[in-house]
Amino acid sequence: MTSDESEHRGNRNDTLLARHPSPITRHQLPIGVFDSGVGGLTVLRALRQQLPHESFIYLGDTARLPYGTKSAESVVRYSVQAASYLVACGVKYLVVACNTASSVALAPLRERFAPLPVVGVIEPGAQAACDSSRSGHIAVIATEGTIRGGAYQREIASRAAHTKVVVQACSLFVALAEEGWTEGEIVQATAQRYLGEVLASDREIDTLLLGCTHFPVLRRTLESVVGPKIKIVDSAATTAAFLAADLPARALAASGSGLGSIRMLATDSAERFARVGSLFLSEPVSADRVELIDLATRPLS
C-alpha cells in the first residue's frame, strides 16, 4: 500500500456506510465496473446479458492505459482512484473488469472499501479454464503485469493442483484491440508469433484462457491460429454468473422488470472510447453518452 493510500484509510468504512443509502434501497444502486480502457466492456456485455435489470456505471481509465506494462504500485494507485470515483457515485457492488488490476489491486480494494463487495476477473477466469480443460494442460495469455504477478498460476493451482499451466504475455494484443484491429494479416502474424512457441511447448494444451479483457475481440483470429482442438475461454461469462448468484444472496439484486441503464465514464477522448467501445460492447456507443472525468487530480474519497 502506498503512503498516499494509507493516509486516506482512516475512518473509511464509516464514511462509506454513511454515504450509502439504507440496506432497503441499496439494491437499487448501480454496479460499478472499471477497466484501464474499453476492454472491460466485454465483461459489461456479459453482465448485461445475464443481469438485464441491473444498472451499471462503467469507467474506462483511457488516459492511463495500458495498465499491463505498469508497475504493481501504479496499478494499485490507479485502481484505488477509479474505484473511489465509482464509490462516490454510489454503487452497490464493484467489478474490477481488468485482469491486471484484479491481479494486484483486489486485496487493497476489498480492504479499503469494505463492506462493499468487490469481485475481480481472475478467479472466475481460472474457474472457466479448469472447467474447460480435460487434459489438465492450460495456456494463459495476458498482459505482462498479470503474468508477472502469477495470479492465474496460483488460482488454477488452488483449484486443480496437478494442472500444467503455460503462460505468455501478449502486450501487443492490447494495442491491436484498442485500435480496432481484430482480424487481418497483422493480427494473424502477431498471434502466430505469440502463440506458436507456447503451443509447440506442450502438445497436450486443450484450453487457451484469455487473461485480459481486451482479448475476446480477437477471438476469431485466435481460433484460427490455435485450431479446433483448443477451446478458448475468458472470464466474462463466469464473472457475470458469479454476480447473478451473489447479488440475490446479499439481497442486492435490483427489483423491477425494466431494463437497467448504463452510464459511461472515460478519462480521455469520449470519441475514441465510443468508436472502439462499440466493438467491445457489441452495440453502438455514442460519444455524447460518454462523460469525461479526471481521476489524476481528484482527491481520494
Sign of the four-CA dihedral 120, 165, 195, 129 = negative
Q: How far is CA 24 from the centre of its chain?
A: 29
Q: Which of 31, 109, 174, 217 binds ligand DGL (CB under 6 A)?
A: 174
Nearer to ligand DGL, 92 or 214 (CB): 214
Q: Which one of 89, 98, 130, 170 is the catalytic residue?
A: 98
Q: Taking a C-beta distance cutoff of 8 angstroms, is the pair 231, 255 a contact?
A: no
What is the per-residue binding string for ligand DGL in 230-269, x denoting contact by CB under 6 A?
----------------------------------------
Q: Which of 27, 30, 33, 36 binds ligand DGL (CB under 6 A)?
A: 36
Q: Taking a C-beta distance cutoff of 8 angstroms, is the pair 223, 232 a contact?
A: yes
Q: Which one of 89, 130, 170, 212 is the catalytic residue?
A: 212
Q: Is 130 a catalytic residue?
A: no
Q: For residues 139-168, which are near ligand DGL according to CB under 6 A?
A: 143, 146
100 interacts with ligand DGL by CB under 6 A? yes
Q: Which of 65, 116, 139, 187 binds ligand DGL (CB under 6 A)?
A: 65
What is the per-residue binding string for ligand DGL in 103-142, x denoting contact by CB under 6 A?
----------------------------------------
Instruction: Compute the least distance from the CB of residue 67 to ligand DGL, in Å.
Output: 4
212 interacts with ligand DGL by CB under 6 A? yes
- The DSSP code for 150 is T
Q: Is 212 a catalytic residue?
A: yes
Instruction: Compute the least distance from the CB of residue 97 to ligand DGL, in Å.
Output: 7
Q: How many residues bind ligand DGL (CB under 6 A)?
A: 17
39 interacts with ligand DGL by CB under 6 A? yes
Closest CA to 86 of 65, 64, 55: 55
Instruction: Show Cβ contacts of residue 22 under 8 Å, excluding neighbours closer than 6 positions.
Output: none
Q: What are phi and psi of 142, to 5 degrees?
A: -160, -170
Q: Which of 214, 233, 236, 265 binds ligand DGL (CB under 6 A)?
A: 214
Nearer to ligand DGL, 29 or 232 (CB): 232
Which stretches of the chain bind ligand DGL, using CB under 6 A? 35-37, 39, 65-68, 98-100, 143, 146, 174, 212-214
Which positions are annotated as active-site residues? 98, 212
